[in-house]
């Protein structure tokens, strides 16, 4: 059940919110209610995967208590056990279907569970990272939660369990007990959620149809449907816009809901499409994900401070392969991680960050590098990725342009232009410039128009939603 669905917005969330504020006399009851709501949210989307989620919560809670009370060597052994159990759950849920299918083909049987096991649950990667972070932080000295519902609330908090962001345990744990509510924070949360919802429905979902059409035609092959060069580039640009608009919209909605309940979820995107290098890009894109891998994988292996630079490079490669696998199970996902590892390594040796000038070309290179990575994210295998790259370059015996491509572009020009506008810092920059130049009248007009424009856009978005939702995430997470 996406947080942009009719059921969530008009049934689930109002019920949860109403009961939550009715329990204002007791913070423990509010927290327990949010934990139950999180479990119910996950169950409404995929009921048969609630048991693994609850099992991970129970394992994390129990082993967290044992780790905190054990001597160093025993605590380390328990941490390793916890990590094996938590990542083992992720491995089973993601790869059991493929393994089951191979077994079925080997013995010549049509195993009925194959269709169930191949449907890896959305959000399993996020609650896995939360559970691992909890156990590691307890091992590092953080106070463990004696209440299993509080552990479950951190691991499975419903606004961010499907698409992030990933909160830090120590801050979230403090807010479980000490968060405060205010009218301002609540109103800001409502506006943040509404802005994310509009971005998702009016921009990301509309642009996604272009990407779906182009990539599906490319996957069909030359003899089924020829894809022109311009169509391939149009589809790739559309997917590049979609993936940012969709993921940042989910983050906006999650942060907004968190503000309503008094939680400060971290920012997950910081204008990544204005980055001037790939290294800069990954400091702005999916910030909490890269921070998690840096803090819990890369730094414990020595980070970049080891004397042996070969070991540093090896550790960096391991981290990027894991980031690639986090996005999906295929070889193309591993190539996604290796691609950015190679680029960031090259930038390090060339000292890109210390060089000035050539701003436009640096930005163009960064975007083309990320768009190449998007092809690997969007395609299912190496063959389809290679075919799409050939379509982009015109080496697939495909034409350069066709009439249907012109029609597709003309029909979706508005959405593409709006997507480009809101994927850049242009609007924020203009507003900040007005404030810096003390243009009080213009700032007042903007402040007055903002809720009106947002309200109208929200109504239009609701109309689009009732006509049919587009619930697929850009990639498996």
Cis peptide bond upstream of 402, omega within 30: no
Cis peptide bond upstream of 165, omega within 30: yes
H or E segment and range at residue 352? none
Q: What is the DSSP string of 372-407?
A: HHHHHHHSSSHHHHHHHHHHHHT-SS--S--HHHHH
Residues 458, 459, 465: CA angle, nearest 5 degrees? 85
What is the chain's length?
477
H or E segment and range at residue 169? helix 169-178
Decide: helix, strand or coil at residue 103: helix
List CB contacts of 77: < 8 A, sequence separation 6 or more.
none
- Burial (Cβ within 10 Å: 0-12, 13-18, ≥19) of residue 205: buried
- d(CA 329, CA 209) in angstroms, rounded, equals 24
Look at residue 152 in the predicted model and tell me its pLDDT: 96
- d(CA 256, CA 250) in angstroms, rounded, equals 10
Look at residue 103 in the predicted model and tell me its pLDDT: 58
- d(CA 15, CA 7) in angstroms, rounded, equals 11
Instruction: Kindly report the number of other CB atoms within 10 A of residue 374's CB atom.
Output: 21
- d(CA 107, CA 202) in angstroms, rounded, equals 49
Going from the C-alpha of 156 to that of each of 167, 180, 186, 277, the distances in angstroms are 11, 21, 22, 34
The phi-psi region of residue 357 (left if phi > 0; otherwise alpha if psi is between -120 and 50; otherwise beta) is: left
Q: Return averaged pLDDT per consecutive 10 residues of the chain, 477 residues in all.
A: 83 95 94 96 86 95 95 95 94 73 57 52 89 96 94 95 91 92 90 93 92 87 72 95 95 95 94 92 94 93 78 90 88 94 88 75 93 94 91 88 89 92 84 77 82 89 75 56
Domain boundaries, the chain: 6-179, 186-466
Look at residue 120 in the predicted model and tell me its pLDDT: 67
- d(CA 321, CA 341) in angstroms, rounded, equals 8
- d(CA 162, CA 3) in angstroms, rounded, equals 9
Instruction: Report the chain's terminal Cα–Cα distance, integer Å.
Output: 15
Q: What is the dihedral of CA 219, 220, 225, 226, to 10 degrees?
A: 40
Contact by Cβ (8 Å): 211, 235: yes
């Amino acid at each position: 059940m996406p947080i942009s669905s009719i059921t969530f917005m008009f049934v689930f969330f109002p019920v949860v919110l109403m009961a939550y504020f009715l329990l204002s006399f007791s913070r423990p009851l509010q927290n327990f209610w949010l934990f139950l709501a999180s479990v119910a949210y996950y169950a409404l989307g995929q009921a048969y995967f609630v048991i693994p989620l609850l099992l991970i919560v129970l394992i994390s809670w129990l082993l967290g208590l044992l780790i905190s009370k054990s001597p160093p060597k025993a605590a380390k052994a328990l941490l390793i056990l916890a990590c094996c159990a938590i990542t083992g759950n992720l491995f089973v849920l993601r790869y059991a279907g493929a393994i089951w299918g191979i077994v079925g083909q080997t013995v010549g049987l049509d195993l009925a569970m194959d269709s169930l096991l191949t449907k890896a649950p959305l959000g399993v990667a996020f609650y896995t990272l939360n559970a691992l972070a909890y156990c590691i932080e307890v091992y590092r000295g953080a106070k463990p939660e004696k209440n299993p519902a509080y552990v479950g609330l951190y691991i499975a908090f419903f606004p961010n369990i499907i698409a992030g962001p990933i909160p830090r345990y120590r801050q979230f744990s403090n807010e479980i007990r000490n968060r405060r509510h205010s009218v301002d924070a609540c109103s800001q949360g409502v506006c943040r959620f509404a802005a994310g919802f509009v971005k998702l429905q009016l921009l990301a979902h509309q642009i996604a149809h272009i990407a779906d059409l182009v990539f599906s035609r490319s996957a069909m092959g030359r003899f089924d449907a020829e894809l022109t060069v311009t169509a391939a580039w149009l589809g790739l640009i559309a997917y590049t816009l979609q993936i940012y608009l969709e993921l940042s919209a989910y983050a906006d909605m999650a942060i907004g809901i968190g503000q309503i309940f008094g939680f400060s979820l971290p920012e997950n995107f910081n204008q990544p499409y204005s980055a001037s290098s790939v290294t800069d890009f990954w400091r702005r894109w999916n910030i909490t994900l890269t921070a998690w891998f840096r803090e819990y994988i890369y730094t414990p292996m020595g980070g970049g401070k080891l004397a042996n630079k070969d070991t540093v490079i090896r550790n960096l490669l391991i981290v990027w392969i894991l980031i690639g696998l986090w996005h999906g199970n295929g070889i193309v996902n591993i190539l996604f991680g290796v691609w950015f590892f190679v680029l960031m390594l090259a930038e390090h040796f060339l000292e890109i960050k210390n060089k000035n000038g050539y701003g436009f070309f640096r930005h163009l290179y960064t975007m083309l590098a990320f768009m190449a990575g998007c092809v690997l994210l969007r395609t299912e295998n190496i063959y389809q990725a290679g075919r799409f790259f050939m379509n982009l370059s015109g080496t697939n015996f495909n034409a350069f342009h066709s009439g249907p491509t012109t029609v597709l572009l003309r029909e979706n020009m508005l959405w593409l232009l709006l997507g480009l506008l809101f994927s850049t810092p242009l609007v924020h920059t203009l507003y900040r410039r007005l404030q810096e130049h003390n243009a009080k009248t213009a700032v007042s007009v903007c402040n007055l128009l903002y809720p009106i424009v947002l309200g109208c856009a929200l109504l239009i978005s609701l109309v689009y939603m009732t006509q049919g939702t587009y619930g697929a995430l850009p990639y498996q997470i």
